A = this chain, B = another copy of it.
Amino acid sequence: MPMIAHPQSMHFADALPLQSGALLRDYRLSFETYGQLNADKSNAVLICHALNASHHVAGVYPGQEKSEGWWDNMIGAGKPLDTDHFFVIGVNNLGSCFGSTGPMHTHPDTGRIYGADFPVVTVEDWVDAQARLLDALGIEQLAAVMGGSLGGMQTLSWALQYPQRVRHAVVIASAPNLTAENIAFNEVARRAIQTDPDFHGGHFYQHGTVPKRGLRIARMIGHITYLSDDVMNAKFGRKLIAATQSEAERNFFYSTLEAEFQIESYLRYQGDKFAEYFDANTYLLITRALDYFDPARAYGGNLSLALARATAKFLLVSFTTDWRFAPARSREIVKALLDNQRDVTYAEINAPHGHDAFLLDDPRYLSVVSSYFKSVLKELEGQA
């Protein structure tokens, strides 16, 4: 029987000071919890999400069989992060579009929808907001923080911003900052959205429009970077949509407008689906948070100096075919932690699926995370 998830929401009256200098007041955070918080509140694990995910990390909603959380293969009873032992918290980031306060909500100062006026939030701001949620839940120290991709950046930032509150940091398929190429892909996606005539400078809500064209293009670009060349060739290759018994016998359409290769219709489908539910301003905000994240920046680019503050134990995982957040980027973090004599476990998983691998069922990957949390549990029990 699947675990049932119960979305919750918490209001915060005290203004949150943001890195930009702006204040965000009267905001809400959507979250879910799974498992039971133990008596000494020492078994909590916070999950940080990436671009298009949410607080709905595991389980299903009542009566909606297909509503599994985005990391349901990782989190639940008997799963690598075992909710029979850990109290797991998923939280939707500020600026996102799944319940927490974001650009589609009303600005308390003006009474108008934020739109483009929603303040730019950073990874550090998200972590600060998550810390306030933990305060409200009465959780002083986390057994672990865990996240993949942008979620891994938040995890790393937790270990730097609140070192005393994090016992373990599990950073998966992540990087200490974006490369120029990463920023470039984000920028193209943003320009596609911003130059869509339906964007209206980010105030499309009051125009009754949605910049779907731009969102579609953004998602198509994203999808290409989540997958590896190998897995795309294996899955789609040069196969045509209207495949006959012999592809070679079929004539091409000789059309520049119609989707003809399977990879084309796959991307169009992904783009269409995404444009139906994702908020355009959220896309801009979250990619900008990715661009800005760079803990070494204040240390002249020296990551070892930047990570000296971290006292948590670390598990890092990367995937060989991930060209978005390549293993070399995880190794930079590993090296910087080792330079500080920190306790680091690192697994580089030989997986064909590119960046997407962190969401998939690779048994070696799941077993690495499972083993790690077994040791976290042992440590907790030894301490109790």
* B256 pairs with A180, CB closer than 8 A: no
Q: Chain A, 280-321, contact with B by CB distance < 8 Å: what is the 0/1 string?
A: 010011011001101001111100000000000000000000
**Complex Cα gap A281–B255 (Å):** 12
A17, CB-defined interface residue at 8 Å? no
Residue of B nearest to A118 (CB): B256
A271: B residues at CB distance < 8 A: 191
* A220 pairs with B248, CB closer than 8 A: no
CB distance from A202 to the nearest CB of B (A): 8
**Complex Cα gap A88–B252 (Å):** 34
Given contacts A195-B213, A264-B187, contact A179 B221 (CB under 8 A): no
* A261 pairs with B291, CB closer than 8 A: yes
A216: B residues at CB distance < 8 A: 191, 195
CB distance from A176 to the nearest CB of B (A): 11
**Complex Cα gap A223–B237 (Å):** 23
A10, CB-defined interface residue at 8 Å? no
Interface positions, chain A 191-240, Cβ under 8 Å from B, are 191-192, 194-197, 201-202, 213, 216-217, 220-221, 223-224, 227, 229, 232-233, 235-238
A20, CB-defined interface residue at 8 Å? yes
A247, CB-defined interface residue at 8 Å? yes
Contact of A256 among B120, B232, B235 (CB under 8 A): B120
**Complex Cα gap A359–B248 (Å):** 34
**Complex Cα gap A287–B247 (Å):** 21
A377, CB-defined interface residue at 8 Å? no
Residue of B nearest to A235 (CB): B180
* B238 pairs with A294, CB closer than 8 A: yes
